[in-house]
């Protein structure tokens, strides 16, 4: 079974721009979560989508948003980029039991650099 | 100015020795715990998990111990190999979905 895939793998943007990152979960998985990893803050939860609905949200400003499609693929968007948004953005998917508390499998991440 | 990163504890072990990585978790309501391994340039890789109704779980060369009384989790790696060199994270889930709270991580270095 193919793992979680994320595109693009690397991205360079300038302040004020917006960016969209894509995640394809493991086949059959319905929950997709997004995390931001930085040297200063570590791994932080952004949001989780299950069956096209946001189920959980972390403590990030409204500039960070996401969505999930009917095929469980997910995108996250960051608007009005700031230098501090430079990070590794990780996507994880979970098996479809639906109740939460399932094992999350991570993709390789998208490395975003904001100049 | 210069950014300050999280201080990542480092554990150095000799090849073939056993490694023990510790983690203190924060939420007494957490009922599911996972250990991940992250190598440079890669996403976290699942190692082993444990639910709060257990205090020990074993996998291949790895054992996770959970002490809910003191909110402590540990990962034991038997016969540590050079390929085990990585950053290890513990993560907790307090229920209501798949929101994980991660620890700061421990850098494991295996010396030949």
B-chain residues near A109 (CB < 8 A): 42-43
In the three-class reduction of DSSP (H, G, I as helix; E, B as strand; rest coil), residue B60 is classed as coil
Q: Do A31 and B98 touch (CB under 8 A)?
A: yes
Confidence of residue A69 (pLDDT cuts 50, 70, 90): very high
Contact (CB, 8 A) for B33 and B90: yes
User: pLDDT value at position B12?
Assistant: 96
How many CA atoms, within 13 angstroms, populate the side-chain half-sphere of residue A66? 32
The reply to whether residue A33 touches residue B5, judged by beta carbons under 8 angstroms, is no
Phi, psi of A26 (to 5 degrees): -60, 140
Task: Kindly state the average pLDDT of the residues A6-20.
Answer: 98
Q: Is A106 near chain B, with CB under 8 Å?
A: yes
- Hey, are the CB atoms on A100 and B97 less than 8 Å from each other? yes
Average of per-residue pLDDT values in chain B: 91
- Say if residue B2's pLDDT is above 60: no
Instruction: Compute the mean pLDDT over every residue in chain A, rounded to the nearest whole number.
Output: 94
- Which pLDDT belongs to residue B7? 72
Report the alpha-carbon distance of residue B100 to residue A99 in Å, rounded.
14
Q: Between the CA of residue B84 and those of A27, B14, B58, B67, B78, what are the distances in Å?
A: 28, 11, 17, 24, 10
What is the structure's pLDDT at B8?
Answer: 82
Average confidence (pLDDT) over B12-40: 95
């Amino acid at each position: 079974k193919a793992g979680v895939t994320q595109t693009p793998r690397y991205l360079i943007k300038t302040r004020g721009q917006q960016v969209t990152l894509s995640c394809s979960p493991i086949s059959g998985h319905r929950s997709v979560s997004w995390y931001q990893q930085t040297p200063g803050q570590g791994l932080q939860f952004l949001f989780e989508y299950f069956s096209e609905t946001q189920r959980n949200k972390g403590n990030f400003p409204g500039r960070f948003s996401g969505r999930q499609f009917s095929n469980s693929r997910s995108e996250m968007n960051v608007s009005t980029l700031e230098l501090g948004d430079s990070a590794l953005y990780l996507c994880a998917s979970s098996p479809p039991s639906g109740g939460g508390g399932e094992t999350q499998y991570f993709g390789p991440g998208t490395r975003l650099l904001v100049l | 100015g210069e950014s300050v990163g999280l201080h990542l504890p480092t554990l150095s072990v000799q090849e073939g020795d056993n490694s023990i990585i510790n983690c203190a978790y924060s939420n007494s309501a957490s009922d599911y715990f996972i250990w991940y391994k992250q190598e440079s340039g890669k996403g976290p890789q699942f190692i082993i998990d444990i639910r709060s109704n257990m205090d020990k779980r074993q996998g291949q060369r790895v054992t996770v111990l959970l002490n809910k009384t003191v909110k402590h989790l540990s990962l034991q790696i038997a016969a540590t190999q050079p390929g085990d060199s990585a950053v290890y994270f513990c993560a907790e889930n307090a229920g209501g979905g798949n929101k994980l709270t991660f620890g700061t991580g421990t850098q494991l270095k295996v010396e030949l």
